[in-house]
Amino acid sequence: MEDVFGPARARLATLPGEAGAYACDEDGRELFGEGANELFPSASVIKLPLVMTLYADAARGLADLDERVEVGTRVDGSGVLRHMRDAAPMSLRDYAMLAVIVSDNTATNRLIDRIGTERVNERMREWGCPLSRLERRMYDFEAARAGRENVMTPRETASLLLRLVRGECEDRATSDAVLAILAQCQDRTMLRRYLPYTAIVANKTGTLDESRNDAAIIRGERAVVVAAFTKELRDTEAAVSWLGVLGWCAYRAAGFAGDPLPPELVRTA
């Protein structure tokens, strides 16, 4: 039987840094696993459980998606709010959209302020993710120096996406609302790198100086969930190339032939 994930496995062996990944089908059957239980700096992939918590709490009446919150202190990094000085108070729903589709760090911090880190961690424990943790706001360098880092494992991250596929983020409607946001993610540089624009994907990426991460649901004849994290990279271009190959493998596992991979060199510096 063909090893659909063979190309990703082969390139992982020469990746200049540490990596872990986990992929499964919609029934939870493992398709690929390497370092799946290891903790990695999550970067912006931590915004996935943050938004899931917001929507799940809203479904229970514990939060109001229409609640308007001042933009407040802007922070650097990805997003648009740091460039907008006259933005009016926005709804939690719109902050969640910005946190995912353009990975807005200011929007993310407003959600963290409103929900609280411990509430997100409580939800993750409830959802069977005891190792992954939200420890700090975006661009909180003092917290980072104190050793408080947002971390996730590939397997636990994939389980969160699988929960959405199954309609188990509180209920089907709530899960679909979160999936609709993830489907608008504008970052195509990692797992979606070698996929056609027609591919049906819902994902959230994350980037740090020495990390490139992505978690996605790829739909075809069946849904395939894949989550991949890297750290201590010496070559970030090699990492996004590997992530692209991994996404291409997942696309094929979902039932598509997939176009031939481009002759892109993966350096091993």
- Of 210, 31, 178, give the one whose Cα is nearest residue 100: 178
In order, the DSSP letters of 100-166 are: HHS--HHHHHHHHHHH-HHHHHHHHHHTT-SS-B--S-TT-HHHHHTT---EE-HHHHHHHHHHHHT
Q: Where are the domains of the chain?
A: 6-253
Type of residue numbered 14: T
Q: Assess if CATH 3.40.50.720 describes domain 6-253.
A: no
Residue position matching structure tokens 């039932």? 255
**What pLDDT is recorded for position 218?**
98
Decide if 152 contacts 46 (C-beta within 8 A): yes
Q: Which residue has the tokens 């991979």?
A: 261
Q: Evaluate whether 220 touches 256 at the Cβ level (below 8 Å).
A: yes
Burial (CB count within 10 angstroms: exposed 0-12, middle 13-18, buried 19+), residue 156: buried
Residue 264, pLDDT score = 55
What is the pLDDT, as a whole number, of residue 269? 34
Is 0.85 topped by the overall pTM?
yes
Give the three-state DSSP class for 186. Answer: coil
Q: Angle at CA 43, nearest 5°, toward 184 and 130?
A: 100
| Share above pLDDT 90 across residues of the chain, in percent, rounded to a whole number | 87
pLDDT of residue 268: 36
Q: Coil, strand or helix: which one is 59?
A: helix
Q: What single letter denotes the amino acid at residue 106?
A: T
All residue ranges of the chain with pLDDT < 50 are 265-269
DSSP character string of 146-161: TT---EE-HHHHHHHH
Residue 130's nearest CA partner among 147, 152, 148, 146 is: 152
Question: What local confidence, expressed as pLDDT, does residue 265 receive?
Answer: 40
Tell me the two tokens of residue 120: 């997100």
